[in-house]
Amino acid sequence: MILAVDIGTTSAKAALFGRDGSCVSTARADVRARQGNGPRGLEIDPESWLAAFRTIITFLASDFGSLALVECVVVSGQGPTIFPVGPSGEVLHPAITWMDRRAAAESAAVEAALGRPLDPAYNLPKALWFKEHLPEIYERTRWFSSCPEFVCAYLCGSWVTFLPAEGYEAIIWDDASLDKLGLDKAKFPPFAALGSVIGRVLPKASAETGLPAGTLVVAGGPDFIVSLIGTATVAPRRACDRSGTSEGINLCWEKGLPRDPRLLYMPHFVSPYENISGVISATGGAVSWFMEKAEPGMDHEEFFRLVSATKPGAGSLLFLPYLAGERAPLWDPDARGAFLGLSMEQGQPEMARAVAESTGFAMRDIIDVMESTGAEVKELRATGQPSGNGVWNQIKADITRKPIAVPAFWESELLGGLCLGLVALGDYGKVTDAAEKLVRIDRVYEPNASVGVLYDELFGIYRSAYPSLKPLFGALTHLRREG
């Protein structure tokens, strides 16, 4: 039996799978982040990951009856998120999450030193931030760790950094970059390849979790990579729409296209392909924000009832979902959310629909950039909890004009973890073989041509809104800092 675990930004989830691919139990627990200091800060206590992990393990043991048959644990998780730990693995500072933008100045310094841009979300700017702003903590740091690696270290005692494929060092760290930035290489754990066995469950962790001592602990990798496995996004023209707090569009493509600096280009874990990607900072996060602010206690069912109560286009109301700055294709930490076109005629239904539609517009913004370089997105394979929402899936299909294919098992990170576990146990020779065998498409949402022209016009306005508002966003951020 294989235990797959994924630690996300707002929740942790896990599943027990048989080696035949059958899912016998699932569990989920909340993970709570907290706002950091300043308008760009978003931190989380790493101990909350362990608390959520223990919660879901306890539930699985109760639901299934026992964890005695677990042969390996595969852990994946959100990032880039980084924090320092001391010599005994003690947390020295809350984790600076991938949504945190405080390292903007350090990002500029990294670009100047390395000759390539690196967004404040990534590890090197954040590590440099610790050195420059918290030197005492930096000196005491034994390792810089991230989310899933911290959970693995708790289980087996080995400190590693997950490396999805050769070439990802450019956005994680490498010796040459650490030297140029004056960062201590001894504080950065060695890399562990995707799906590699990094240790075995220690007796202490076994006593606390119920997992058998000696159980294999397998590197699951960053959550967005594992979701590609769990949707079988392993062939050109397949793209994964990974939805959650944020939204990631990852396209599998052949190498050789001209590169657009607004996108990320990294090796696909399937050689010789490339992973062309863009991440939207707040999509599900924008929905959660609206529910909380519009009517505390509102749930997703009520939100999408509001969405369905008004027509496509939300009465000519647009929403810019830049509530945590924006990554692709804008790369602007100062970008901010906005409703455009409000009038006395509009209310909660139109505002809710505009928030939901903003995800489709942001996705189309990335896809249009991809296809302008000569790539082609044939279909979007949806994953994450929102992929089970038919209203939202149809909105995405209508705005992007791409089919949305929904796998039968929505939690692709967990299914990807299963595939990695089966390879680690020797049941499959390659992870692609496991993915093609186990991923089954359950439903496809086709674009509705009758609303295509309307959404084309609204997308044009959406795309022109940011350049017009950019100076105002910067001015507002400056005022907030000064205040």
Q: Contact, 25 vs 64, CB < 8 A? A: yes
Q: Model confidence over 412-466: pLDDT tens digits? A: 999 999 999 999 999 999 999 999 999 999 999 999 999 999 999 999 999 999 9
Q: Are residues 212 and 266 in the same domain?
A: no
Determine the 3-state secondary structure of 44 from DSSP: strand
Q: Is residue 13 part of a domain?
A: yes
- Indicate the burial class of 224 (C-beta count within 10 angstroms; 0-12, 13-18, 19 or more): buried
Give the chain's domain count.
Answer: 2
Q: How far apart are CA 188 and CA 128, in angstroms?
A: 12
Q: Contact, 221 vs 168, CB < 8 A? A: no
Q: Are residues 250 and 171 in the same domain?
A: no
Q: Model confidence over 317-362: pLDDT tens digits? A: 999 999 999 999 999 989 999 999 999 999 999 999 999 999 999 9
| β-sheet bridge partners, residue 472 | none
Q: Are residues 218 and 241 in the same domain?
A: no
Q: Are residues 240 and 328 in the same domain?
A: yes
Q: How far apart are CA 31 and CA 77, in angstroms?
A: 12
Assigned token pair, 224 = 């967005």
Cβ neighbours around 442 below 10 Å, total? 10
pTM of the model: 0.88
Q: How confident is the model at residue 99 (pLDDT cuts 50, 70, 90)?
A: confident
Is the predicted pLDDT of residue 104 greater than 70, yes or no? yes
Helix segments in 31-166, DSSP class H? 46-64, 104-114, 123-133, 135-140, 147-156
Q: Are residues 238 and 174 in the same domain?
A: no
Domain final residue pick, 179, 201, 225? 225
CATH code where residue 75 lies: 3.30.420.40
Q: Model confidence over 234-258: pLDDT tens digits? A: 999 999 998 888 899 999 999 999 9
Most distant pair of Cα atoms in the chain: their distance: 64
Domain final residue pick, 175, 203, 225? 225
Q: Is residue 419 part of a domain?
A: no
Is the predicted pLDDT of residue 36 greater than 70, yes or no? no
Determine the 3-state secondary structure of 183 from DSSP: coil
Q: Are residues 175 and 272 in the same domain?
A: no
Structural domain including 160 reads 2-225
Q: Are residues 218 and 338 in the same domain?
A: no
Q: Are residues 136 and 253 in the same domain?
A: no
Q: Are residues 204 and 275 in the same domain?
A: no
Assigned token pair, 374 = 């000569």
Is the predicted pLDDT of residue 386 greater than 90, yes or no? no
